[in-house]
């Protein structure tokens, strides 16, 4: 836990997705208290025609530089922690990789702990 999926356009420079992953991982450890070495990430680069977004939504204008970050994680974090987490990722991506904050799309998918198997066909997190 967690499983991070990062999707971005191939117009970004080589190594961009991995750099995003490092920023997300650092924010997870420092803002939502994910343990060290709990780093499972799938990074996918897409051609321009594989990203279908609106020009704007909820007053936010998007560009083809959008970065999608979907994180599946254990349920239970507070709204305040999530807000700080979203801000941290957007701020760090902007500061370190020059991604527009408007182009940082984050989705959290919360699951119960028993919905994970990290290998061996076993349930490592037993329900309490």
Does the active-site annotation cover 2?
Answer: yes
Cα–Cα distance measured from residue 90 to residue 94, given in angstroms and rounded to the nearest whole number: 6
CATH number for position 63: 3.30.429.10
Closest CA to 105 of 29, 40, 52, 32: 52
Residue 26: which of 69, 85, 70 has the closest Cα? Answer: 85
Cβ–Cβ under 8 Å, residues 8 and 17:
yes
Give the active site residue among 2, 13, 54, 127: 2
Residue 101 inside a domain? The answer is: yes
Number of domains in the chain: 1
50: in domain = yes
pLDDT digits (tens, 9 = 90+) for 83-110: 999 999 999 999 999 999 999 999 999 9
100 lies in some domain: yes
Across 62-79, average pLDDT: 96
- pLDDT value at 112 more than 90: no
In a domain, 37, yes or no: yes
- Partners of residue 109 on adjacent β-strands: 72
Q: What is the largest CA-CA distance in the chain?
A: 46
The residues that bridge with 5 in the sheet, in sequence order, are 42, 70
- The H or E element that residue 7 is part of is strand 3-9
Within a domain: 127: no
> Per-residue pLDDT averaged across 59-73, rounded?
97
């Amino acid at each position: 836990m967690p499983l991070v999926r990062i999707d971005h356009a191939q117009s970004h420079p080589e190594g961009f997705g991995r750099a995003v992953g490092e920023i997300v991982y650092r924010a997870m450890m420092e803002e939502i208290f994910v343990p060290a070495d709990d780093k499972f990430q799938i990074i996918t680069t897409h051609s321009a025609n594989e990203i279908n977004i609106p020009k704007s939504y909820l007053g936010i204008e998007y560009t083809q530089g959008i970065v999608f970050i979907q994180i599946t994680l254990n349920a239970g974090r507070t709204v305040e922690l999530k807000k700080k987490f979203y801000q941290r990722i957007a701020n760090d991506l902007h500061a370190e990789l020059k991604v527009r904050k408007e182009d940082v799309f984050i989705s959290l998918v919360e699951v119960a702990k028993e919905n994970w198997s990290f290998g061996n066909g076993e349930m490592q997190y037993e329900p309490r």
